[in-house]
Structure 1
Amino acid sequence: MEGFGWIMTIILGALAGWIAERIMKSNHTLLLNIVVGIVGALLGNWLFRLLFDATLGGIVGQLIVAVIGAVILIWLVRAISGRSRV
């Protein structure tokens, strides 16, 4: 989440983590949603730059990228741990 302050990063991370949690039918705490959302944003931005040589700009664009990254992150954790619920 380039160019955002700490407060906006935490808010967007929490929102992205919560949306990804709902998509993947998980059950996380607020703190874990924030972490999943922020790490998901990093993963999503990395993937978008790798695949498209660009990323989405603005708050809405970064929220979309963070949600996609968070969904991938939850899926990866489930695949590696072999658990159906994370």
Structure 2
Amino acid sequence: MGLIWSLIIGGIIGAIAGAITSQGQSMGWIANIAAGLIGSAIGQSLLGYWGPTLAGMAIVPSVIGAVILVAVVSFFMGRSK
């Protein structure tokens, strides 16, 4: 049950990051989950583990990390076209 909960929270974090960066419409739900989980790891590594937590992820640093990840990936994907 913990893995499913982490995937759901990761998807929500990825969707929030997509909405903040205006890239949410181009990302599918798998990309949202990946952005949320990877962004969570990045955000917690850079900013620490503070604020409210869900499924073992600190929400505020996770969203910030996911926004950074989505912005960087969309920047490089946009340059390749």
2: CA distance between counterparts of 1:71 and 1:33? Answer: 11
**TM-score w.r.t. length of structure 2:** 0.78
Q: What one-letter code is carried by the residue in structure 1 that aligns with 2:28?
A: T
What is the CA-CA distance between 1:75 and the residue it aligns to?
A: 1.7
**Equivalence for 1:6:** 3
**TM-score w.r.t. length of structure 1:** 0.74
**Equivalence for 2:43:** 44
Contact preservation (8 Å) 1:21, 1:28:
yes
What is the CA-CA distance between 1:78 and the residue it aligns to?
A: 3.2
Q: Does 1:16 align with 2:10?
A: no
Deviant stretches of 4+, over 6 Å = none
Q: What one-letter code is carried by the residue in structure 1 that aligns with 2:20?
A: I
Q: What one-letter code is carried by the residue in structure 1 that aligns with 2:53?
A: G
What is the CA-CA distance between 1:77 and the residue it aligns to?
A: 1.7
**Equivalence for 1:70:** 66
Contact preservation (8 Å) 1:12, 1:63:
no
Name the count of aligned residue pairs.
Answer: 75
Q: What one-letter code is carried by the residue in structure 1 that aligns with 2:6?
A: T
Change (3 A) 1:16 1:78: same
RMSD (CA atoms): 2.3
Give ranges in structure 2 of 5+ residues lacking alignment.
none
For residues 26-62 of structure 1, the C-alpha deviation after alignment (integer angstroms, 9 at most, x for no partner) is 120001100000000000010013xxxxx12522x72
2: CA distance between counterparts of 1:66 and 1:31? Answer: 17
